[in-house]
């Protein structure tokens, strides 16, 4: 598993934003490659019991859905999201019984849906569904999702190191 390359240094803004998001997304699968089911669901952060590799992948999947499908496109929540199930604030991370391969496949599929959803939208397009008060532009959403994904890739990096000592990106590429 190799990372999606960084976007070209002089690429147009849209290509840069989507390129950086895809680059960060690729690290999610990379950081989970080679983990056993037990390790993928193991908590190594005592103060955050749901922060497991599997929990983070599920969280990122539902963030993709929430921001691109619900916020940008205005798709209503008809009960398909985990947040409506039991009112748990981190319900999307309650995935102890879901195989990591399934979670990664769902994440990859949601990322592809996200990219397809915004393919023809202007960066200045305003979201159709909003819980933020003032509608956000697609540009804002892309910047936020780069930040959100990179933040959790950092969590995955530390968690992976605590699980089996593997760090960075190139070492994982060599062992995948």
Segments forming the whole domain that contains residue 77: 16-175
Q: Is 126 helix (H, G, I), strand (E, B) or coil?
A: strand
pLDDT, residue 89, reads 81
pLDDT, residue 131, reads 67
The structural domain count of the chain equals 1
pLDDT, residue 91, reads 81
Query: What CA–CA distance (Å, rounded) separates 24 from 40?
Result: 19
**Which residues in the chain show pLDDT less than 70?**
1-2, 83-86, 130-132, 169-176
For residue 5, is it within any domain? no
Q: How far apart are the first and last CA of the chain?
A: 6
pLDDT, residue 64, reads 97
pLDDT, residue 24, reads 96
Whether the CB-CB separation of 167 and 160 falls below 8 Å is answered with yes
pLDDT, residue 120, reads 95
pLDDT, residue 14, reads 96
pLDDT, residue 86, reads 63
Q: What is the CATH number of the domain that holds 144?
A: 1.20.120.450
For residue 4, is it within any domain? no
Query: What CA–CA distance (Å, rounded) separates 151 from 107?
Result: 16
What does the pLDDT look like over 72-106, one tens digit per residue? 999 988 777 776 656 778 888 889 999 999 999 99
For residue 128, is it within any domain? yes
For residue 11, is it within any domain? no
pLDDT, residue 97, reads 94
């Amino acid at each position: 598993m190799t990372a999606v390359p960084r976007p070209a240094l002089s690429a147009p803004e849209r290509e840069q934003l989507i390129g950086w998001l895809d680059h960060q997304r690729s690290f999610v699968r990379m950081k989970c490659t080679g983990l056993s089911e037990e390790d993928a669901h193991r908590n190594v952060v005592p103060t955050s019991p749901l922060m497991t590799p599997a929990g983070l992948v599920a969280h990122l999947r539902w963030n993709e859905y929430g921001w691109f499908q619900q916020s940008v496109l205005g798709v209503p929540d008809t009960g398909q999201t985990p947040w409506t199930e039991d009112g748990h604030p981190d319900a999307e991370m309650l995935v102890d019984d879901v195989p990591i391969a399934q979670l990664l496949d769902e994440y990859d599929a949601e990322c592809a849906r996200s990219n397809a959803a915004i393919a023809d939208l202007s960066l200045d397009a305003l979201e159709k569904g909003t819980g933020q008060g003032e509608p956000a532009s697609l540009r804002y959403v892309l910047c936020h999702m780069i930040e959100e994904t990179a933040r959790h890739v950092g969590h995955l990096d530390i968690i992976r190191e605590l699980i089996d000592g593997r760090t960075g990106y190139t070492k994982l590429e060599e062992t995948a």
